[in-house]
Amino acid sequence: MFKNTPLTLTAVALVLSACGTNDLERGVSGAAIGAVAAQATGNNAATGAAVGGAAGVFCDDVVPELCPR
């Protein structure tokens, strides 16, 4: 369908996964956002949740200014 869908979903999940104050909260919100975005674009919701959750958990390690602790 879309060639850049996984990259786009990862970017969106990374940006939006900052909805929390610790890794657990960011991971849960990232997983929810990833699942919804994947389902909305016709992709596997479980994969979207995994990518979004990982982005939420690791965003403060990768891009600290985006996800402050």
Domain spans of the chain, in order of start? 12-61
Q: What is the pLDDT of residue 52?
A: 93
Token pair 């997983």 is found at: 31
Sign of CA dihedral 29, 15, 23, 45: positive
Q: What is the pLDDT of residue 6?
A: 72
Neighbouring C-alpha atoms within 13 Å toward the C-beta of 61: 8
Measure CA of the first residue to CA of the last residue in the chain; give whole Å: 36
Could you say which residues of the chain have pLDDT below 70?
1-5, 9, 12-19, 69
Q: What is the pLDDT of residue 59?
A: 86
Q: What is the pLDDT of residue 12?
A: 67
